Amino acid sequence: MRLARFESQVALVTGASGGIGGAISEALVAEGAEVHALSRKTKQSDRLIWHKVDLSDDGAMEAAADKISSTIDELDILVHAAGDFAMGTVARAPITDLDRMWRINMRAPWVLTKALSRALSARHGSVVFLNSSIWNNARGGTGAYSASKYALKAFADALRDELNPVGVRVLSVFPGRTASAMQQGIFAEENRAYNPDLLLQPDDISQIVLQSLLSANTAEVTDIHVRPAKKF
Q: What is the DSSP string of the chain?
A: ----TTTT-EEEEESTTSHHHHHHHHHHHHTT-EEEEEESS----SSEEEEE--TT-HHHHHHHHHHHHHH-S--SEEEE---------TTTS-HHHHHHHHIIIIIHHHHHHHHHHHHHHHTT-EEEEE--TTTTS--TT-HHHHHHHHHHHHHHHHHHHHHGGGT-EEEEEEE-SB-SHHHHHHHHHTT----GGGSB-HHHHHHHHHHHHTS-TT----EEEE--SS--
- Return the pLDDT at 46: 76
- Return the pLDDT at 232: 63
Q: Are strands 223-226 and 169-175 parallel, antiparallel or unpaired?
A: parallel
Q: Looking at residues 39-44, what average pLDDT do you find? A: 81
Q: Looking at residues 37-56, what average pLDDT do you find? A: 88
Reported as a pLDDT band with limits 50, 70 and 90, residue 43 is: confident
Task: State the CB neighbour count (10 A cutoff) for residue 23.
Answer: 24
Q: Which pTM does this prediction carry?
A: 0.95
In this predicted model, what pLDDT tens digit does every residue of 74-108 receive, in sequence order?
A: 999 999 999 999 999 999 999 999 999 999 999 99
The percent of residues in the chain predicted with pLDDT above 90, rounded, is 90
**Predicted confidence (pLDDT) at residue 1 exceeds the cutoff of 60:** no
In this predicted model, what pLDDT tens digit does every residue of 60-78 receive, in sequence order?
A: 999 999 999 999 999 999 9
